[in-house]
Amino acid sequence: MACALLTCFHGPKVESSFSIMNSVITPGSNRLNVQSLDAIQTVKYELAAEKKTAVESFLKGDFLHDPVDKNLCKNMRSACSSYRTEMVLKRKEKCVTQPSTSNEKRKQRSYQQKLQNYKEMSI
């Protein structure tokens, strides 16, 4: 029963979504979390729907003098900071041991609250 519940469904619909988007399962892509894979698939779908490459979507006539897309820069910065925060929290999560003193317990509760707030914020 447990194996059945923990097994990922990989029927024809899932397989076809990978085929359509030309996704290749590699050791590197196996480590992607669901949010990252979803973002990649969304970008690929949008580009395929527009029948453009990423370069064509953001191509500028005169890249030295054309204005910078401020929304794109803002999104890139927020994505980078979210990724760094997530990596720091994951690293701390691995290092957290069972608290032995009341001070350590308080720190762990504070850390868990920050982690919960971050997870709620990213949803």
Q: For the ranges 43-52, 73-82, 89-98, which has the lowest average pLDDT?
A: 89-98
Question: How far is C-alpha 40 from the chain's CA centre?
Answer: 9
Confidence of residue 67 (pLDDT cuts 50, 70, 90): confident
DSSP summary character for residue 66: S
Cα–Cα distance list, 8 to 24, 63, 78 (Å): 17, 45, 31
Query: How much of the chain exceeds pLDDT 70, in percent?
Result: 68
What are the domain boundaries of the chain? Answer: 15-59, 62-122
38-54 tens-digit pLDDT: 888 888 888 888 888 88
